[in-house]
Structure 1
Amino acid sequence: MNCRRIVHIDMDAFYASVEQRDNPSFRGRPIAVGRGAARGVVAAASYEARQFGVRSAMPSTKAQRLCPKLIFTPPRFHVYRAVSEQIHEIFARYTPLIQPLSLDEAFLDVTDHLGAYGSATLIAESIREDIKQQTNLTASAGVSYNRFLAKLASDYNKPDGLFVIPPHMGPEFVLNLTVDQFHGIGPATAQRMRALGIQTGQDLKNTDFSLLKHHFGKAAQFYHDIAHGVDERPVTPHRERKSLGTEQTYLTDLKQDHDAINALHDLTKKLWLLSLEKNISARTITLKVKYTNFKQITRANTLLKPISSLTILTDTCQSLLQPLLPLQEGVRLLGVTLSNFIPTLAESDQQQSQMLLFPDLKSL
């Protein structure tokens, strides 16, 4: 079997690190990129803030409770994109097979592009050094023979680390991990697995495939494979994105109307941040609702103009939910997706959109 050589590069606390780099007074202090207000949301947190449990997409009020000395700073997406372009120019020196996942992370397939380095590990180290020299930021890297393990590896020595999972180590490496640590297994799925007695990679590996198929459908094959250290997904550059979405399966079903409304509001804030990060503007919003009895419905609305603010996104989502109220069944999952993309907004429009998300930026 031809062994691939995959590198996963992940910038360390990217947005927050850029802010700490550019503002010396932030260095060594807990900061959050976002708006510190009642309906604000954390876009990113520094490692100093993460020690208190502060995480991205967390409501600002909760973040402030966890870390009373937390400093909020407004996001500068135009700066993050400019730094991201620098980083991707560095990637392109080593291989044309680059699959960006976001502004701050990407997979690189260097199998046929080892060049004078002769080693994916040496390439990863060289990329990390280039990034540090040219951006004054740190990146962590994972190297392995497939995407799943390379991404696991990049988390292993964060921040500013490098870890390698060679082929002989891969199948055994996953056995002692908890299912929560598996990329591709979210919190709700991990909870369902634990209810079935699947706590670790070893448990997942030992689970009969028919049982996985019964409980997890099409995803069962992926779960079965990664438990054996197998992931055949290629690094795919230049993928054309058709949609952008986020969803949440709730451990406790939403049974009250106000719970569903609040949960949907949290999802729309998260999706708006994602759309800004990925520089995406869309006209169509789709709401997905899955009930306790697994009945699923979708409702969509296509606007005449692209969505230009969090308020428009939130109001449209709530209008799609409203005809489904009052709830007749508990809700186990909510999802929101953007589609029908339009050409990228001009930089001035992007900045205006950010102001609409963070209206009191000037006061910070």
Structure 2
Amino acid sequence: MTPGPDDPPPRRIIHVDMDAFFASVEQRDNPELRGKPVAVGGSSQRGVVAAASYEARVFGVRSAMPSVTAARLCPDLIFVRHRFEVYRAVSQQIREIFADYTPLIEPLSLDEAYLDVTDHLPEGVTATAIAKQIRARIRQATGLTASAGVSYNKFLAKLASDQNKPDGLCVITPERGPEFVLGLPVGKFHGIGPATAAKMQAMGIHTGADLRAQTLDFLTRRFGKAGRYYWNISRGVDHRRVSNERVRKSVGAENTFAADLMTLDQADEALVPLAAKVWTSVGRHDLHGRTVTLKVKFSDFRQITRARSLSHPVASEGELLSIARELARGVLPDPRGARLLGITLSGFDAPDSGPEQLDLFP
């Protein structure tokens, strides 16, 4: 692909994605789980799969799947409770490896990140060679495998990292990029979620080739501002930069309960670990938020939020918990019972240093 006069020069971008990260950590730390179908998450009626090993994925088990569905698909499935502090520690090990190669690191979650190595390649060393080194060092340091994609933009690098999983490497050159996307289903494109993919398919847009056949005017009329992005990626074009200056807008934690909470006392107790989780994160990143939001999902799956904004930043974990409890008193108890509670702190006075997953899985 030859850049146009207004196009930035091609970058050398690596997307690293750990293989079945949470489940692989559990298999690493417990030899009895190796080679067996494992799901990280609760096994109760309300449980959700946070991650599945590749042995479990053979049976159709996937993350975000209800645990009862996963157990039905794979009767021998072994459920393991999550250990997020362990996953975060391993993630930090991996990011320290990334930092040896470039300061331009954009984490997407605990287990994947973009690296722009364009301006940090030693003479005679390719981005592909760097990706191989990173994967080898991750294995040596953590005992885990990672897959990597190398390309000239973020969209294609992420697509590439999915091609040879697990423990794989794929390179999409500027010459290959525009044609690479043609045969792929639109549902495989990063940035096109299930709902948008279904909308496209209803219009007869099933593959990258179908998407490229649409005019820019058609796509912007049907998909708004995202239409230009879809038009570009169908041609292998993505001008987004790898950024390590992402600003956190909120920090939250939530939990789904095995049994509905029917009393205010139960809710008060359930809010304690959520407030602690949020406060730990904002303290780690030196954030100062003014708005506390409570989320409640009832047993009929209806969901409400209540928020309170202060004139000053929340000063302590105790104040955060107190405000959340006051908000809860405005909506609970409820005869439907609460199946989920969540606390979010937002309205920060300072930018954050990076994204972090805080969801609590049942």
| TM-score interval for Structure 1 and Structure 2 normalised by the shorter chain | 0.7 to 0.9
- Candidates 18, 27, 41, aligned match of 2:25: 18
**Counterpart in the other structure of 2:105:** 98
Separation (CA, whole Å) in 2 of partners of 1:209 and 1:63:
41
Residues 1:196 and 2:203 aligned together: yes
Which residues of structure 1 form unaligned runs of 5+? 246-271, 288-297, 323-335, 344-352, 359-364
Residues 140-175 of structure 1: per-residue CA shift (max 9 Å, x gap): 000000000000000000000000000000000001
Q: Is the alpha carbon distance of 1:165 and 1:338 closer, same or farther for their aligned partners in structure 2, counting shifts above 3 Å?
A: farther
**Counterpart in the other structure of 2:150:** 143
Separation (CA, whole Å) in 1 of partners of 2:202 and 2:78:
39
Residues 1:61 and 2:68 aligned together: yes
Q: Is the alpha carbon distance of 1:299 and 1:75 closer, same or farther for their aligned partners in structure 2, counting shifts above 3 Å?
A: closer
**Counterpart in the other structure of 2:256:** none
Give the letter for the 2:308 counterpart: T
Separation (CA, whole Å) in 2 of partners of 1:107 and 1:142:
10
- Candidates 196, 203, 214, aligned match of 2:221: 214
Q: How does 1:154-165 map to 2 (within 5 A)?
A: 154-165=161-172
Report if aligned partners of 1:91, 1:98 keep a CA contact under 8 Å in 2. Answer: yes
- Candidates 2, 6, 10, aligned match of 1:3: 10
Q: Is the alpha carbon distance of 1:357 and 1:187 closer, same or farther for their aligned partners in structure 2, counting shifts above 3 Å?
A: closer
**Counterpart in the other structure of 1:153:** 160
User: CA offset at residue 238 of structure 1?
Assistant: 3.2
Q: Is the alpha carbon distance of 1:31 and 1:207 closer, same or farther for their aligned partners in structure 2, counting shifts above 3 Å?
A: same
Q: Is the alpha carbon distance of 1:300 and 1:171 closer, same or farther for their aligned partners in structure 2, counting shifts above 3 Å?
A: farther
Structure 1's consecutive aligned runs of 4 or more residues displaced over 6 angstroms after TM superposition are 303-309
Q: How does 1:298-313 map to 2 (within 5 A)?
A: 300-302=306-308
- Give the TM-score, by structure 2 length: 0.73
User: CA offset at residue 23 of structure 1?
Assistant: 0.1
Q: How does 1:113-262 map to 2 (within 5 A)?
A: 113-116=120-123, 118-243=125-250
Separation (CA, whole Å) in 1 of partners of 2:165 and 2:41:
23
User: CA offset at residue 133 of structure 1?
Assistant: 0.6
User: CA offset at residue 280 of structure 1?
Assistant: 6.7
Higher helix proportion: 1
Residues 202-231 of structure 1: per-residue CA shift (max 9 Å, x gap): 111110222111111111011001001000
Residues 81-119 of structure 1: per-residue CA shift (max 9 Å, x gap): 110010000000001110011111000000011115520
Report if aligned partners of 2:41, 2:361 keep a CA contact under 8 Å in 1. Answer: no
Separation (CA, whole Å) in 1 of partners of 2:215 and 2:251:
33
Give the letter for the 1:174 counterpart: V
Report if aligned partners of 2:151, 2:174 keep a CA contact under 8 Å in 1. Answer: yes
Q: Is the alpha carbon distance of 1:219 and 1:23 closer, same or farther for their aligned partners in structure 2, counting shifts above 3 Å?
A: same
Give the letter for the 1:238 counterpart: E
Separation (CA, whole Å) in 2 of partners of 1:53 and 1:285:
36
Q: May I ask how many residue pairs the two structures share in their alignment?
A: 293
User: CA offset at residue 342 of structure 1?
Assistant: 7.5
**Counterpart in the other structure of 2:346:** 340
Report if aligned partners of 2:251, 2:281 keep a CA contact under 8 Å in 1. Answer: no
User: CA offset at residue 56 of structure 1?
Assistant: 1.2
**Counterpart in the other structure of 1:110:** 117
- Give the TM-score, by structure 1 length: 0.72
**Counterpart in the other structure of 1:75:** 82
Q: Which structure has the greater CA radius of gyration?
A: 2
Separation (CA, whole Å) in 2 of partners of 1:337 and 1:148:
33
User: CA offset at residue 337 of structure 1?
Assistant: 10
- Counting aligned pairs with the same residue, the percent is 57
Could you tell which deviates more after superposition, 124-133 or 109-118? 109-118
Q: CA RMSD in A?
A: 3.4
User: CA offset at residue 300 of structure 1?
Assistant: 4.8
Separation (CA, whole Å) in 2 of partners of 1:99 and 1:35:
30
Separation (CA, whole Å) in 1 of partners of 2:157 and 2:164:
12
Give the letter for the 2:155 counterpart: F
User: CA offset at residue 54 of structure 1?
Assistant: 1.1
Which residues of structure 2 form unaligned runs of 5+? 4-8, 253-273, 284-288, 296-303, 335-341, 350-357
Report if aligned partners of 1:31, 1:48 keep a CA contact under 8 Å in 2. Answer: yes
